[in-house]
Amino acid sequence: MEASPLQKTIEHLLTSVEKPSRYIGGETNEVVKPEATVRVALSYPDAYEIGISNQALQILYGLINNRTAAAAERVYCPWPDMADAMRRDGVPLFTLESWRAVRDMDLLGITLQAELTYSNVLELIDLAGIPLRGADRSEGDPIVLAGGPSASNPMPLAAFVDVFFMGEAEEGLLQIIEILEQVTGREERLDRLAMLPFLYLPSRGERPVERLVFADFSIDTQPTSPVVPYASAIFARASVEVMRGCTRGCRFCHAGTWYRPVRERRVEDVVTAGLQQLDCTGYDELSLTSLATSDWTGVARAITEIKADRPQLNLSLPSNRVDTGPVALLAAANSRQRSITLAPEAATQRMRDIICKTITDEMIDTAIDAAFAAGYTSIKLYFMIGLPLETFAEVEGIVELGYRAREIGRRHLGEGGKFTVHVSASNFVPKPHTPFQWDGMAHPDQLRVKQDYLRRALKGRQLKLSLHDARTSMLEGAIGRGDAITGDVLEAAWRAGARFDAWTEHHREDLWQEAFQAFGRDLVAEATRERDPLDTLPWDHVRSGVSKEFLLDEWWQSRAERPTGDCRWDGCSDCGACVGPVRNRLVEA
């Protein structure tokens, strides 16, 4: 078939941009459905190598293409060189599968995984040739739908998104496709979508909207033939989600609230899906994913069965708790891996009680000792700074723990042994729907003082330190708990040139400062602002399933420095997440 004028223009553009493989499509396991009458563009608002690694988008892609007559095609945010060339030559945003213009699709679905991608959301909509604001769209425009964890506060993007999906899409997405198939008019489609209780349509008024939970968490939604990238990707491996949800109750953690309750998959299903995915992709690594994989009750049996079938397989278990069990599991899962990450989050018992991280110094030291004993030569310790009620003693504790870990390593490997203790300290950013949603961030000057201290104190052989940029953390905090005016700020910053804000080389703090000031606000003041527990919050109309009363009680418990037990083992804490068929479900409890 002869290439269309648009395709010829795209081919010409690709000769002049960095990494043209980001835009060509045609990857292994790609699905093309030329006869489909309903078309959906699924987008991750970041570069190809980030978006292609997103497991959620792979799930939705398979769900639509395998279970419906509709076609799902992919689009990622063009890198600035490509975006500038597209605007220069009048090329609209196009999908990878067919190089079809996104504006000709029925629906543009955007996943919201992080607030620092929001300027890219506007970039995608504008490059597609779709009016930026929902109020300006007309009958010929596709519906713009956004979902994902960051959609839990829809207000900063409410002016630009037609429909927000609250919760887990495995069930509700097919209802949306059915409406698109049954109804052709844009406004009539929106009217029908507004009837679904898990969808929030800003144009239809601010009504309560309920988070949808994929109650049975069946394995048949797990992709076994995911798209394999041509270009480099941040995660080039097969992956199977083994468990969804976490009830450990860390008070800073948005995912721990948003994805309750815990639902586990059966070992035999996970093993079968993982081996099928390896066969369909050619990967030599399999990741068993969840918020805390070592908490999955079937993890030990799954490792044994997978390794029995593929002895040389690189099997990774991300997100593990701090005790000796996960260390032993990792050692059994991957004898080639020499690096392990442990996440104490805080270095003193006082701060761990405040944030409800129920581990002790003894458990941390024992886990580090077990890691070195198992042959690991790189230990990464993950912390946060700027937490509520933090004193400088907590920051000093990070240094003390770093040196303690080094001494443990030297006991195992000697003074001149080849090993590294890598201390990573990120900046606390309060999130909606968490007990810390009423707290502000630490002022950037305070964060920089603490970061400077860590740089001075954590020096020497076998020690490394990594820190997060306070500027981007402030922006994340200001947007994450923002409101409708934050959306106006977002548009002003984007029009001034903001995009790819999570990438240090593209972040423009000056543009954001000016945009906030244009609307009578200050970026730092928005990020550090504390809220009264009695205040109405911009996201209060979104019902996460966890009650606001429970979150407030947890906030008070943090002030009393009292942790709350995990309801899987310590009894129900009455958070509100378990209703009807939606309950904690452990497969090997």
Within-domain flag for 347? yes
Q: Based on the domain organization, do 203 and 308 belong to the same domain? A: no
Q: Based on the domain organization, do 288 and 158 belong to the same domain? A: no
Within-domain flag for 156? yes
Using CB atoms within 10 A of its CB, is residue 571 exposed (0-12), middle (13-18) or buried (19+)?
exposed
Task: Return the pLDDT at 1.
Answer: 55
Segment 133-150 shows an average pLDDT of: 97
Which CATH number is 305's domain given? 3.30.750.210
Give the angle subtended at the CA of 349 by the CAs of 345 and 351, to the nearest 5°: 55
Q: Based on the domain organization, do 431 and 557 belong to the same domain? A: yes
Per-residue pLDDT tens for 181-202?
999 999 999 999 999 999 999 9
Residues in CB range of 537: below 8 A, 6 or more apart? 432, 437, 481, 531
Q: Based on the domain organization, do 342 and 330 belong to the same domain? A: no
pTM (2 d.p.): 0.96
Within-domain flag for 282? yes
Per-residue pLDDT tens for 535-549?
999 999 999 999 999
Give the integer Cα–Cα distance in Å for 272 and 251: 35
CA atoms within 13 A on the CB side of 152: 24
Using CB atoms within 10 A of its CB, is residue 475 exposed (0-12), middle (13-18) or buried (19+)?
buried
Q: What is the mean pLDDT of the chain?
A: 94
Assign 475 a pLDDT band (cuts: 50, 70, 90): very high
Q: Based on the domain organization, do 271 and 153 belong to the same domain? A: no
Give the angle subtended at the CA of 349 by the CAs of 552 and 372, to the nearest 5°: 125
Q: Based on the domain organization, do 266 and 174 belong to the same domain? A: no
More confident residue, 314 or 30: 30
Q: Based on the domain organization, do 22 and 132 belong to the same domain? A: yes
Give the integer Cα–Cα distance in Å for 292 and 319: 5
Tell me what percent of the residues of the chain surpass a pLDDT of 90.
84
Q: How far apart are the first and last CA of the chain?
A: 57
Q: Which of 316, 334, 352 is the last residue of a domain?
A: 334
Task: Return the pLDDT at 14.
Answer: 92
* Closest to 237 (Cα-Cα) out of 129, 315, 339: 315
Residue 69 CB neighbour total at 10 angstroms: 13
Q: How far is CA 383 from CA 173, 345, 366, in A?
A: 37, 4, 18
Task: Return the pLDDT at 234.
Answer: 82
Say yes or no to pLDDT of 2 above 70: no
Q: Based on the domain organization, do 78 and 108 belong to the same domain? A: yes
Q: Which of 283, 317, 334 is the last residue of a domain?
A: 334
Q: Which of 162, 192, 210 is the last residue of a domain?
A: 210
More confident residue, 421 or 416: 421
Assign 265 a pLDDT band (cuts: 50, 70, 90): very high
DSSP 91-159: PPPB-TTT--BGGGSSEEEEE---GGGHHHHHHHHHHTT--SSGGG--TTSPEEEEESGGGGS-GGGTT
Number of domains in the chain: 3
Segment 238-249 shows an average pLDDT of: 94
Say yes or no to pLDDT of 331 above 90: no
Segment 303-317 shows an average pLDDT of: 91
How long a stretch of residues is the chain?
Answer: 589
Per-residue pLDDT tens for 81-104?
999 999 999 999 999 999 999 999
Which CATH number is 80's domain given? 3.40.50.2300
76-80, 263-267, 313-317, 561-565: lowest mean pLDDT where? 313-317
Assign 364 a pLDDT band (cuts: 50, 70, 90): very high
Which CATH number is 379's domain given? 3.30.750.200
Which one-letter DSSP state was computed for residue 340?
E
Tell me what percent of the residues of the chain surpass a pLDDT of 70.
99
Within-domain flag for 446? yes
Task: Return the pLDDT at 335.
Answer: 67
Within-domain flag for 444? yes
Give the integer Cα–Cα distance in Å for 108 and 168: 17
Task: Return the pLDDT at 211.
Answer: 97
Say yes or no to pLDDT of 416 above 80: yes
Segment 8-14 shows an average pLDDT of: 90
160-174, 226-240, 403-417, 438-452: lowest mean pLDDT where? 226-240
Within-domain flag for 582? no
Within-domain flag for 578? no
Q: Based on the domain organization, do 375 and 474 belong to the same domain? A: yes
Identify the domain containing residue 90 by its residue range.
14-210
Q: Based on the domain organization, do 246 and 131 belong to the same domain? A: no
Say yes or no to pLDDT of 24 above 80: yes
Q: Based on the domain organization, do 190 and 86 belong to the same domain? A: yes
Q: Based on the domain organization, do 29 and 80 belong to the same domain? A: yes
Two tokens, residue 263: 């639902």
Within-domain flag for 458? yes
